[in-house]
Each structure stands twice: as structure tokens, then as C-alpha cells.
Amino acid sequence: MRIENQIEALSEIGLLLNEGVTINDLLNSFSREAYESEPFDLILFVYGIEIEEAPWGRFICNQAWNFDAEAIEGDGSYVEIVKQFHRISGKGKRIEELSDRVDFEESHAELNYTVDGVKRTFKPILKLKSNNKCSTARW
């Protein structure tokens, strides 16, 4: 299936390319043939990443995000996760006082935040691999 048809089908269900994003931005990451040989598989992955060229920090689609538990590397990791959830939900202004602490040696993580004036603490459960990378983190 042509990449243009995949983009059109995804837009019909609310997954839109961000303003200014073009097919060329998608082709920076993978070839047209790669996208078209397995329709929707690769394009859904790419919709959740940043454009892989300057200026950096631009996402392909604000309604999608890819996450790997190994990205939990220390303090600030859960703050970044929450920021991404809020980016894709469009509700980022509701959360305040966002902070976290990740201690792999103690297998402890803590996320502190305030939503609609209510302070909350969440303690995800960390499971580590032998290289001290997080393999899973249950909410």
C-alpha cells in the first residue's frame, strides 16, 4: 500500500501528521519500500518518534508516541514519560509540580505531581535486567 494511502487512512481515524511534516520527513528514517512492504507496521512506529533531522525535537504526529522501558535510566525518566502522555492527550496544562526519583540499587521509583490542585505520589514497580537497565515498570 502506498505511503500516501496509509497517511490518508490514519488521518481518517485521527492520527494526523503535525503541521509542516511531509512524506520526506518520514523518508529520512526509512525507505518508501520499507513503509509500503508492510502497510501500517512501520508508519505507526514512525508516527511516534521525532523527525530525524534538524531542527530537533519535532514529532511526526502529536497523537502517537513510542516508548521502550529501557529508556528509564534514572531521575527525570518518569517526568519525561508523563510529559509525553500529556503531549499526546492534549491535557498537559493540568499537571504541576512534576518530579521523580529513580533508584535502581533499591529497585525504587517515585513520581510526584499535582493535578487540579491535588498532590499525588505514584510508586511504579521496577524490574531490572542484569545490566541494570529497566526491563519493565508496572504502573
Amino acid making up residue 102? V
Q: Count the domains in the chain.
A: 2
- Last residue of some domain: 12, 38, 66? 66
- Last residue of some domain: 34, 66, 98? 66
pLDDT in tens, 9-34: 999 998 999 999 999 999 999 999 99
Question: In terms of domains, do 56 and 99 share one?
Answer: no
pLDDT for position 139: 47
Is the pLDDT score of 133 beyond 60?
no
Question: In terms of domains, do 78 and 123 share one?
Answer: yes
C-alpha cell at 66: 513510542
- Decide: pTM greater than 0.75: no
Kindly state the DSSP code that residue 53 receives in the 8-state scheme.
S
Give the separation between CA 119 and CA 66, rounded to whole angstroms. 28
pLDDT in tens, 40-96: 999 999 999 999 999 998 999 998 888 776 778 889 888 888 888 888 877 666 788
Question: In terms of domains, do 86 and 121 share one?
Answer: yes
Question: In terms of domains, do 59 and 101 share one?
Answer: no
